[in-house]
């Protein structure tokens, strides 16, 4: 049976913070062997990453370990938005746990080759941690969509900063200064949950002209004019609220009779041309796709997280053994005006199941059968 435990240290005491978090996780697991440990360390802990990694390894003796530096960490219903160390440990009897390290190698001015990708045939899920300065995540997600469609990837982009070459990625006993690290899980049930924090408004519309990330027409009308028409049809109070953060949801799986909130990939509106009527969005689109306007605020983000988790726990058929949570650095108290929001909602929805994670510079998770990088999102992996 899968067993998961976590530890969280708010300390700024270097390697001892890692040790404190690891000892908490060990106490939660008892005599169970640790097959996988995942470590997240805030800025103060990054300077002591090598000693911290050794402290975690000495205490947990994990079969596999990955981790990364972070702006802040979370666990056990608590969030430390600046600093801290979190350790997540799992006993996964009968599962295959394969850690890997990835590098991006430029082959010419426009192309990048990704090295180190494991064989993901039969994988239940991939947990992925990425350095934003040295690893372009989109080519990897494109590759996985082509060769391993349907394998969910859940994770985040390291947010500790420091610039190129200053990354701290943990891969078993090694500290990597660049690239990405991950773990492929087989033989264990992992349910991905993605809460984009937005709610749909207005009617669905079909893209009738467009190319790349430019939409020329919606429902046969110039896109800019159609959006304006939809906004003007709203009650004034709703229009004012929506206009403060107007987004576009794009359906990525057309094979459904109707679309609900989680079926849309939410992207920003990057620009509008009143002369041509075109709008520019933050992702590629194609003619025939259905879209719908969305908006995001604290209330919609709270509602969406609760609904997403309710569906996830229901999909597992009961309380999960534990969870990993990757939440945007733009959420937290900045968005919700209260501490511990996402970690607290997760704990409440899962009956206090052990969970840990970090504040990300971009969150990774699936919408439909394809994996994407998100913003202002909480992505989660729930373990049966």
Q: What is d(CA 346, CA 309) in angstroms, rounded to the nearest whole number?
A: 7
Cα dihedral 328/355/64/383 (nearest 10): -100
> In angstroms, what is the C-alpha Rg of the chain?
21
Separation CA 67–CA 78 (nearest Å) = 19
Q: What is the dihedral of CA 184, 188, 189, 190, to 10 degrees?
A: -30
Please choose, from the candidates 72, 64, 88, 85, the residue with its C-alpha nearest in 3D space to the C-alpha of residue 18. Answer: 85
Count of CB atoms situated within 10 Å of the CB of 372: 25
DSSP 349: H
pLDDT of residue 66: 98
Q: What is the pTM of this model?
A: 0.95
Q: How far apart are CA 84 and CA 14, in angstroms?
A: 10
The domain spans of the chain are 3-195+301-383, 198-295
Residue indicated by tokens 């470590």:
39
pLDDT value for 261? 85
3-state secondary structure of 211: strand
Would you call 288 exposed, middle or buried from its count of C-beta atoms within 10 A (0-12, 13-18, 19+)?
A: exposed
Neighbour tally for 346: CB within 10 Å: 29
Residues 53/61, Cβ–Cβ less than 8 Å: no
CATH 1.10.1060 is held by the domain 198-295: no
For residue 184, what pLDDT is reported? 98
Q: What is the pLDDT of residue 82?
A: 93
Note the pLDDT tens digit of each residue in 304-353.
999 999 999 999 999 999 999 999 999 999 999 999 999 999 999 999 99
Backbone angles phi, psi at 190, to 5 degrees: -125, 125
Q: Tokens 């087989």 belong to which residue?
A: 186
Take residue 64 and report the two structure tokens written for it.
């596999």
CB atoms inside a 10 Å sphere around CB 353: 18
Chunked in runs of 10, what are the mean pLDDT values of the chain (384 residues)?
96 89 96 96 91 96 97 96 96 97 86 91 97 94 92 95 80 93 97 96 96 97 96 88 88 84 93 94 96 95 97 94 97 96 98 98 95 97 97
pLDDT at 132: 94
Cα separation of 299 and 131, whole Å? 31
């Amino acid at each position: 049976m899968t067993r998961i435990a976590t530890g969280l240290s708010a300390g700024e005491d270097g390697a001892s913070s890692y040790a404190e978090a690891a000892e908490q996780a060990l106490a939660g697991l008892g005599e169970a062997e640790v097959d996988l440990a995942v470590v997240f360390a805030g800025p103060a802990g990054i300077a002591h990453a090598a000693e911290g990694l050794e402290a975690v390894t000495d205490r947990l003796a994990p079969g596999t370990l990955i981790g990364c530096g972070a702006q802040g960490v979370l666990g056990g219903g608590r969030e430390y938005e600046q600093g801290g160390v979190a350790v997540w440990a799992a006993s996964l009897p009968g599962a295959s746990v394969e850690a890997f390290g990835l590098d991006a190698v430029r082959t010419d001015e426009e192309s990048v080759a990704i090295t180190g990708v494991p064989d993901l045939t039969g994988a239940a899920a991939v947990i992925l941690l990425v350095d934003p300065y040295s690893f372009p995540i989109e080519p990897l997600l494109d590759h996985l969509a082509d060769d391993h469609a349907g394998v969910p990837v859940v994770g985040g982009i390291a947010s500790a900063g420091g610039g190129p070459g200053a990354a701290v990625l943990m891969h078993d006993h090694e500290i990597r200064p660049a690239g990405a690290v991950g773990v492929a899980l087989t033989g264990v049930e992992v349910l991905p949950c993605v809460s984009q924090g937005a709610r749909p408004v207005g009617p669905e519309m079909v893209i009738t002209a467009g190319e790349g990330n430019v939409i020329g027409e919606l429902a046969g009308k110039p896109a800019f004019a159609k959006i304006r028409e939809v906004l003007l049809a709203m009650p004034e109070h709703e229009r004012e609220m929506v206009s403060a953060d107007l987004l576009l949801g794009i359906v990525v799986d057309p094979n459904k009779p109707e679309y609900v909130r989680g079926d849309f990939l939410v992207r920003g509106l990057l620009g509008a041309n009143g002369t041509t009527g075109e709008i520019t969005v933050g992702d590629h689109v194609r003619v025939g796709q259905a879209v719908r306007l969305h908006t995001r605020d604290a209330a919609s983000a709270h509602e969406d997280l609760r609904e997403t988790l309710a569906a996830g726990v229901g999909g597992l058929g009961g309380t999960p053994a534990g969870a990993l949570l990757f939440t945007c650095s733009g959420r937290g108290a900045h968005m919700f005006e209260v501490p511990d929001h996402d970690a607290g909602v997760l704990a409440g929805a899962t009956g206090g199941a052990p969970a840990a994670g970090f504040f990300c510079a971009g969150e990774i998770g699936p919408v439909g059968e394809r994996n994407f990088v998100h913003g202002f999102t909480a992505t989660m992996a729930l373990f049966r």
